[in-house]
Structure 1
Amino acid sequence: MQANATNAAIDSQVPPTADGMSKKHLRLSHLPTKQDVTYPRTAALIDPDNPPWPAFRGYHTYSFANATMGHRLPTILGKAIDDVIETLNTLSEEEEIIDLVKCIERMATLKKELHQSAKLRPIKDDGEADVILWNKEIAKYFEGKDFMNAPWLFAEAYKYRRLRECFTVSKFWVNYDVFFRQKCDTFARSSDAVFELSTRFAKPFQHEKHPSNEAKLERERLMFMELTQICLWGNSTDLSLLIDMTEEQIKTLQSTGGEALAETEKNILGNHMPRLWEVVRDLKNKREARIDFILDNAGFELYCDFVYADFLIQGGFVDQVRFHGKRYPWFVSDVTKKDWNWLLNTMVYGHLFTKATEQEKETLRLLGLRWKQYEKEGKWIYEQHPFWCTGYTFWDLHSEAPDLFLHLSKSDLVIFKGDLNHRKLTYDCAAPYSTPFDVAIGSMASASGAPKICSIRTIKSDVVIGLGDDGENIGSKLDKDEKGWKISGKYAVILLSEGRPGETVTFI
Structure 2
Amino acid sequence: MASKAHPSAKAPSKTMLNLGNLPPRQKQAENKPAAYPRTPTRVNPNQPPWPAYRGYHEYSFAHATMGVRLPTILAKAINDVYQTLNQEYDEGRVLDLLDCVERMQQLMDDLHGNAKLRPIVDDGAGDVALWNKEIAKFFRGKDFMNAPWLFAEAYKYRRLRECFSLSKYWVEYDVFFRQKCDTFSRSAQAVFELAARFSEPQQIQSSTEKNKLIFLELTQICLWGNSTDLSLLIDMTEEDIKNLQSTGGEHLAATEKNILGNDLHKLADYVLTLKGGRVDFVLDNAGFELYCDLVYADWLIQAGICSQIVFHGKRIPWFVSDVTRKDWDWILNTACLHGHLFEDAPEEDMHQLRAMGRRWKQYEKEGKWKYEQHPFWCTGFSFWDLNNEAPDLFQYLSESDLVIFKGDLNHRKLTYDCHFPIQSTFPNAIGPMASDPGAPPVCSLRTIKSDVVVGIPEEVGARLDEEEPGWKISGKYAVVLLSAGNKGKDSAIAAQV
Which of residues 79, 82, 85 in structure 2 aligns to 1:82?
Answer: 79
Secondary structure at the residue paired with 1:266?
helix
Q: Which residue of 2 aligns with 1:355?
A: 344
Q: 1:500 to 1:79 in 2, by over 3 A?
A: same
Q: Which residue of 2 aligns with 1:489?
A: 475
Q: CA deviation at 1:32?
A: 6.9
Identical-pair percentage: 66
Letter in 1 for 2:219: T
CA distance in 2, matches of 1:26, 1:83: 66
1:176-325, aligned counterparts within 5 Å? 176-207=173-204, 213=206, 216-284=207-275, 288-325=276-313
Q: 1:248 to 1:44 in 2, by over 3 A?
A: same
CA distance in 2, matches of 1:221, 1:76: 40
**RMSD of equivalent CA atoms:** 1.8
Q: 1:25 to 1:108 in 2, by over 3 A?
A: farther
Secondary structure at the residue paired with 1:160?
helix
Letter in 2 for 1:220: N
Q: CA deviation at 1:282?
A: 1.1
Instruction: Map Cα deviations across residues 392-431 of structure 1 (whole Å, 9 max, x no partner).
Output: 0000001000000000000000000000000000000011
Alignment pair present for 1:393 and 2:382: yes
Q: Which residue of 2 aligns with 1:13?
A: none
Q: Which residue of 2 aligns with 1:159?
A: 156
Secondary structure at the residue paired with 1:282?
coil
CA distance in 2, matches of 1:181, 1:300: 14
Which of residues 132, 136, 148 in structure 1 aligns to 2:145?
Answer: 148
Q: Which residue of 2 aligns with 1:326?
A: 314
Secondary structure at the residue paired with 1:283?
coil
CA distance in 1, matches of 2:16, 2:101: 54
Q: CA deviation at 1:360?
A: 0.4
Q: CA deviation at 1:456?
A: 0.3
Instruction: Map Cα deviations across residues 329-383 of structure 1 (whole Å, 9 max, x no partner).
Output: 0000000000000001121111111121110011110111000000000000000
Single out whichever of 293-302 and 339-348 deviates more from structure 2: 339-348
Q: Which residue of 2 aligns with 1:14?
A: none
Q: 1:488 to 1:28 in 2, by over 3 A?
A: farther
Q: Which residue of 2 aligns with 1:368?
A: 357
Q: CA deviation at 1:39?
A: 1.6
Secondary structure at the residue paired with 1:240?
coil
Q: CA deviation at 1:275?
A: 1.1
CA distance in 1, matches of 2:268, 2:123: 44
CA distance in 2, matches of 1:398, 1:26: 56
Letter in 2 for 1:139: A
CA distance in 2, matches of 1:117, 1:33: 42
Q: Which residue of 2 aligns with 1:378?
A: 367
Alignment pair present for 1:448 and 2:445: no
Q: Which residue of 1 aligns with 2:327?
A: 339
Letter in 2 for 1:500: N
Kept in 1, the 8 Å contact 2:78–2:104? The answer is yes
Alignment pair present for 1:39 and 2:36: yes
How high is the TM-score relative to the length of structure 2? 0.93
Q: Which residue of 2 aligns with 1:101?
A: 98
CA distance in 2, matches of 1:493, 1:26: 56
Secondary structure at the residue paired with 1:291?
strand
CA distance in 1, matches of 2:363, 2:16: 73
The alignment covers a number of residue pairs equal to 476
Letter in 2 for 1:391: G
Q: Which residue of 1 aligns with 2:132?
A: 135
Q: 1:28 to 1:455 in 2, by over 3 A?
A: farther
CA distance in 2, matches of 1:415, 1:443: 16
CA distance in 2, matches of 1:125, 1:357: 50
CA distance in 2, matches of 1:367, 1:316: 18
Q: CA deviation at 1:502?
A: 4.7
Q: CA deviation at 1:18?
A: 12
Gapped regions of structure 2 (runs ≥ 5)? 1-6, 490-497
Alignment pair present for 1:466 and 2:452: no
CA distance in 1, matches of 2:260, 2:92: 54
Secondary structure at the residue paired with 1:270?
strand
CA distance in 1, matches of 2:308, 2:345: 32
Q: CA deviation at 1:22?
A: 3.4
CA distance in 1, matches of 2:355, 2:14: 81
Letter in 2 for 1:397: L
CA distance in 2, matches of 1:91, 1:26: 76
CA distance in 1, matches of 2:359, 2:317: 27
Q: CA deviation at 1:302?
A: 0.1
Kept in 1, the 8 Å contact 2:439–2:487? The answer is yes
CA distance in 2, matches of 1:241, 1:308: 24
Q: CA deviation at 1:472?
A: 1.4
Letter in 2 for 1:415: I
Letter in 2 for 1:143: R
How high is the TM-score relative to the length of structure 1? 0.91
Q: 1:258 to 1:96 in 2, by over 3 A?
A: same
